[in-house]
Amino acid sequence: MSDPAKIHHYSSDEATIAWDSGRCIHAAECVRRAPVAFDPRERPWIRPEKEPVKALAEAVNRCPSGALSMHYADGASAMVMPPLNTCSVTANGPNYVRGNLALKQGENVLTDTRMALCRCGASQNKPFCDNSHKKTGFAHDGTLPSAKSAPPNVDFAAPLSITPTLNGPLQCAGPLSLRDSAGRTAFTESVYLCRCGGSSNKPYCDGTHRKIGFVG
């Protein structure tokens, strides 16, 4: 779960932006979309008063890791709920999950609309990505073994429950469309996603975590 000590707040008269430095993987979507408000060369590096509040909200909602969130001055959340749950399997990188998400670890539940989840097995902030895949040379082209369409009458608004199993995969329960680097999709309502980095059936678990002694 997020460490409260790593969550920093930046306020203007119109909004407050929260930045979780522990979940930030420096994708820089915020910098590209609202460069005056998000400038790593400045201190503080987030200055919400420098951009229109609409531009701020659009930039924050594009953060793929969920490190950024935002509330308006009246307390209302600026975060937009995606219409369906998706998991983008990136080449040589993490799973970018978006939607109505509930990450469960023991008695703790983190609800969010975006997460970047480790699949290389080396993150020091499991289950979140911390860019360790770049250091370890994790390799997978991000393709799915097969495609599968969603059946009719699926409740796409239903939440996606994500549970990192002890020393094992991510157990995902709920409607989820996986998207690979080639643009194919595979719909599922129950799946185990590899997070040890060793599966021969990536992005799915094949039990390799038990053979290599994965801990996490």
Assess whether pLDDT exceeds 80 at residue 182: yes
- Which carries the bigger pLDDT value, residue 116 or residue 4? 116
What confidence tens digit (pLDDT) does each residue in 148-175 have?
999 998 998 899 999 999 999 999 999 9
The whole-model pTM stands at 0.94
User: Residue 4 — pLDDT band, cuts 50, 70, 90?
Assistant: confident
SS (H, E, C) 146-170: CCECCCCCCCCCCCEEEEECCCCCE
Assess whether pLDDT exceeds 70 at residue 19: yes
Residues in Cβ contact with 49 at an 8 Å cutoff, skipping those fewer than 6 apart: 12, 13, 37
The pLDDT of residue 1 is 64
The CA distance from 18 to 4, in Å, is: 11
The CA distance from 98 to 81, in Å, is: 9
Lowest mean pLDDT among 12-16, 105-109, 176-180: 105-109
The CA distance from 199 to 195, in Å, is: 9
Under CATH, what is the fold of the domain 4-72? Alpha-Beta Plaits (3.30.70)
The pLDDT of residue 114 is 97
CA torsion, points 113, 114, 119, 120, in degrees to nearest 10?
Answer: -150
The pLDDT of residue 157 is 82
Chain mean pLDDT for the chain: 96
Query: What helix, strand, coil percent values describe the chain, rounded to 5?
Result: 15, 35, 55
The CA distance from 90 to 141, in Å, is: 7
User: Residue 60 — pLDDT band, cuts 50, 70, 90?
Assistant: very high
The pLDDT of residue 125 is 95
The domain spans of the chain are: 4-72, 86-212
pLDDT (mean) for 56-74: 97
The pLDDT of residue 5 is 82
What confidence tens digit (pLDDT) does each residue in 184-200 have?
999 999 999 999 999 99
The pLDDT of residue 3 is 80
For residue 30, CA distances in Å to 71, 95, 112, 195 come to 16, 19, 18, 27
